[in-house]
Chain A
Amino acid sequence: GAVVSQHPSRVICKSGTSVKIECRSLDFQATTMFWYRQFPKQSLMLMATSNEGSKATYEQGVEKDKFLINHASLTLSTLTVTSAHPEDSSFYICSARDFDEQYFGPGTRLTVT
């Protein structure tokens, strides 16, 4: 199957700082990538759909100014958590479509202190 990588796998940052997470499709091109958030013992919640060359589409309730998404190329999307607060601590997972199938990255554990 297709491979999606994410970097970093873990990050700890201080409250008020910004954190960037990278998502790459390694062996296929993805015009669309997705960013999910997962709280402990809960399912994945879609945050936004990232479209190459255009603005991201955010789900209801997700602050676009706080979670900045950039899809700079067909293999790279980035999520920047701006002015992070402890409540932003979570597991962030990106995914990309390869035809009908959707593949996920290994996730990034963000801890805001």
Chain B
Amino acid sequence: SQKIEQNSEALNIQEGKTATLTCNYTNYSPAYLQWYRQDPGRGPVFLLLIRENEKEKRKERLKVTFDTTLKQSLFHITASQPADSATYLCALDIKGYQKVTFGTGTKLQVIP
């Protein structure tokens, strides 16, 4: 069956450190993968998109890698801040379909 799993439900990290979140998928052939941030009671906010032919994408303190052989994406937040505390969702855009399927989410807590 098709699955998208994010490494842990919750991740606590000290302020200033790099947070690394993992997204693993099985039985999908994604055209691209997207990362979102979601705060409680709010809709997801788009952060980054990485295509299947791209290895890495950066935006300010964010970095995403995409390994289609391992079927894995890593999402890094460098110099993490308490304001980065939120739930982060990965989402796959499946080839041939115009819809996005979400992972389970990781709740990140950055401790001052």
Which residues does A use to contact B, with CB under 8 Å? 1, 4, 6, 32, 34, 43-44, 46, 49, 91, 93, 95, 97, 100-107, 109
B89 at the interface (CB under 8 A from A): yes
* A104 with B46: CB separation less than 8 A: yes
Chain B residue contacts of A105, Cβ below 8 A:
43
Central interface residue in B51, B99, B104, by most chain A CB within 10 Å: B99
Q: How large is the interface on B (under 10, 10 to 19, 20 to 34, 35 or more residues)?
A: 20 to 34
A-B contact count (CB 8 A): 51
Q: Point out the residues of chain B lying under 8 angstroms from A109, CB to CB.
A: 41
B102 within 8 A of A: yes
Please give the distance in Å from B93's CB to the nearest CB on chain A: 7
Q: List 24 A-B contacts (CB under 8 A).
A: A1-B46, A4-B43, A34-B100, A43-B102, A43-B104, A44-B89, A44-B102, A46-B100, A46-B101, A49-B99, A91-B41, A95-B43, A95-B100, A100-B32, A100-B51, A101-B34, A101-B46, A101-B49, A102-B46, A102-B91, A104-B43, A106-B42, A106-B43, A107-B43
Contact B42 A34 (CB under 8 A): no
A84 to chain B, nearest CB (A): 20
Ranked 7 nearest A-B pairs via Cβ: A104-B43, A107-B43, A43-B102, A104-B44, A93-B43, A44-B102, A106-B43
Contact with A along B70-86 (1 / 0, CB 8 A): 00000000000000000
A107 touches B41 (CB 8 A): yes
**Contact partner of A43 among B34, B41, B105, CB < 8 A?**
B105
- Assess whether A104 is in contact with B103, with CB atoms less than 8 Å apart: no
